[in-house]
Chains A and B, each alone.
Chain A
Amino acid sequence: MLELKNLTKKFDKRIILDGVNFSIDDGKILCIVGQSGAGKTTLLRCISGLERADAGEILVDGKKFDPVNTKNQDSVIGIVFQEFQLFPHLSALENIMLAPELVLKETKVQAKEQAQDLLEKLSLKDKADLYPYQLSGGQKQRLAIARALAMKPKILCYDEPTSALDPALRDAVKKIIVALKKDGITQIVVTHDMEFAKQIADKILKVEVLKK
């Protein structure tokens, strides 16, 4: 279970997140919705340790968790960025294998086996040796999901997973997210698409643009 208590984030003097509270049970899907500029991305960045929150705390399974300093901890958060941020110089397979090898110290054989399973699961089996520039938007996104899953995170977060895709692919993402839920993965989905959120969410958190 992930809990946020009173999480506050300012940029300079401007308050972006003012005491955000939520909790999400294992294996559930939380959607964070709100207009552009409301602070959804900022919230994800605080949870994943890319920004340091100014106040409040994050608890994982009831224990205090500092996402900025994750040395010697298990993988807690995985992220699928809005622009995916795949590594352009690595093939699809290598994109997935890199972190498990370097960080989890898996052997090449282990890492490769797992990466191939993930590629298969995300219908990218025949794309293993292609480079990101050779993939379509939807394929890039699935590769980004596979790369994050390879680190076996407790919680997988997505930033606007539908924004870079044409409508036909929206359903494809939905299917993936729902399938991962069946596997017991806890997911946080940031979106400005209320319709999409309603279709997949167990719980919806709205963030509002704060005046001043």
Chain B
Amino acid sequence: MNYILEILPSLLNGAKLTLEIFFWTLIGSLPLGLLVGLGLTSSFMPLRALLRFYVWLMRGTPLLLQLIFVFYGLPLIANGVFTLERYDAALFAFILNYTAYFAEIFRGGLQSIDQGQYESAKVLRLSYWQTIRKIITPQVIKIVLPSIGNEVINLVKDSSLVYVIGLGDLLRAGNIATSRDVTLTPLILVGIIYLILTAFCTYILQKLERHYSYWR
């Protein structure tokens, strides 16, 4: 018990970083994902092609590779002109990656909205963005919420990948304690903290789904 209390601060410190990455990635990639999703359904071919390439790249390569590439690779290419702090590099890579996944989900949601919804909005003379904001987005969110939820849970766990560029997240904190003290306790604690985080996310997502169930 004493041991647990002893290592808990360093684990919670790691958990704080994990949460920060989680939080900012969502703040960045959800709206961006919706925008890219809109682009993916655009009738402007070059835009669609470009975005499809981006999504293909992001979903076709490991996030781990993208992370390493952004942190170690970009400075090499840019010849030292362009470097990112570890934390910024991690966020950049995560947002880039998750935007692509969210965009695909939003694309599916957008395509399942009846064309007639756009048309009735148009006849009522709503502008394109008014239509997207007031008519389309609320309906899309309801449709995509379960799939978004899956990715959100994944993100909690994926955030542990930041250890490769030397960031001290939750998993890394546990790992350090385990190898130093030769005991499994820290890793078990780490597992429990992840479970608490994902349970909390699941709870929020359920709440959201219930909120959106007032119409059909």
Contact = CB atoms under 8 A, between A and B. Distances in A.
27 contacts: A70-B125, A75-B125, A78-B123, A79-B123, A81-B119, A83-B116, A85-B116, A85-B119, A87-B117, A88-B215, A89-B138, A98-B124, A98-B126, A98-B134, A99-B125, A102-B126, A102-B130, A102-B134, A103-B125, A103-B130, A131-B214, A132-B215, A133-B216, A147-B124, A148-B124, A151-B124, A151-B125
B122 to A, nearest CB: 7
A21 B120 CA distance: 26
B139 interface: yes
Given A81-B120, A83-B114, A131-B216, 20 more contacts: A48-B123, A49-B122, A50-B123, A70-B125, A78-B123, A79-B123, A81-B116, A83-B116, A85-B116, A85-B119, A87-B117, A88-B139, A89-B138, A89-B142, A98-B124, A99-B126, A102-B134, A103-B124, A103-B125, A131-B214
B125 A50 contact: no
Contacts of A49: 122-123
Interface in B18-41: none
Contacts of B123: 48-50, 77-79, 148
Interface string A28-63: 000000000000000000001110000000000000
A145 B194 CA distance: 53
A160 to B, nearest CB: 14
Instruction: Classify the secondary structure of B's interface with A.
Output: helix
Interface bin, chain B: 10 to 19
Interface string B97-141: 000000000000000001011011011111000100011001100
Q: Which 10 pairs, one residue from A and one from B, show the smallest C-beta to C-beta distance? A: A85-B120, A99-B124, A85-B116, A133-B216, A131-B215, A89-B138, A79-B123, A103-B125, A89-B215, A102-B130
Contacts of B138: 89
Interface residues of A, number: 25
B117 to A, nearest CB: 6
Most buried by B among A75, A102, A103: A102
A65 to B, nearest CB: 14
Interface in A81-125: 81, 83, 85-89, 98-99, 102-103
Contacts of B116: 81, 83, 85
A50 B119 contact: yes
Contacts of A131: 214-216
A36 to B, nearest CB: 18
Nearest to A99: B124
B9 to A, nearest CB: 46
Given A77-B123, A151-B124, A85 B214 contact: no
B152 to A, nearest CB: 22
Nearest to B131: A102
Contacts of A88: 139, 215-216
Contacts of B122: 49-50
